[in-house]
Copies of this chain bind each other. A is one copy, B any other.
């Protein structure tokens, strides 16, 4: 019954898992499931039940002893803990394919992120439409961040420009950065940077595939959720 909910600095790995609990709980809610236990969550997500319980103890969700966690309560607690209920204003810098894809990604909006601007240094891209937005020049970036109270900047520019874009965002008062560029971004400690570097992820995957092959892995495979049962 403790679950203090407001401890101090939760490790990034825990927060990362919390996002998984959230999306899985949302799936369960969509299926009309009412209760879920730590062991079920763990099994589905490849974790031990103890890890799940310890993680969830950071959030204000009380589990109930012989039932588990109530799915809707779990969803709400995680949404609130992750700040989805408050919502964020975000801008995307870089109107290339990736930047446009993010700006148009409905799932982001649905999770509390309002994309309120797309910027590009390329004059030929300025003025283009991206969904309901128009690509704006970099010169308007600082004022926009200030005037529209932008919290988050998404860096979707080539590696060579990424750090200077980050610097511009930072001196303009941005509060956090999602880095989609290839390189590591340096930022002051009060501006958290989260990496979404997909090429790097692909490199990690390549390595994993290779070592998996080297180990000669085989597996007793049972299909995932979709194949396993007839869902709602």
Contacts and interface: CB of A to CB of B under 8 A. Distances in A.
A23 interface: yes
Interface in A203-221: 203-213, 215, 217-221
A197 to B, nearest CB: 8
A170 interface: yes
A212 B188 contact: no
A194 B201 contact: yes
A93 B119 CA distance: 28
A205 to B, nearest CB: 4
B199 A107 contact: yes
Interface stretch (A60-68, A69-77, A133-141, A177-185): A177-185
A192 B208 contact: yes
Contacts of A96: 101
12 contacts: A12-B208, A15-B208, A44-B184, A102-B198, A108-B198, A164-B226, A164-B227, A186-B225, A187-B224, A194-B201, A195-B201, A196-B198
* Top 6 closest pairs, chain A to chain B, by CB: A190-B217, A188-B219, A186-B224, A192-B208, A97-B101, A188-B221
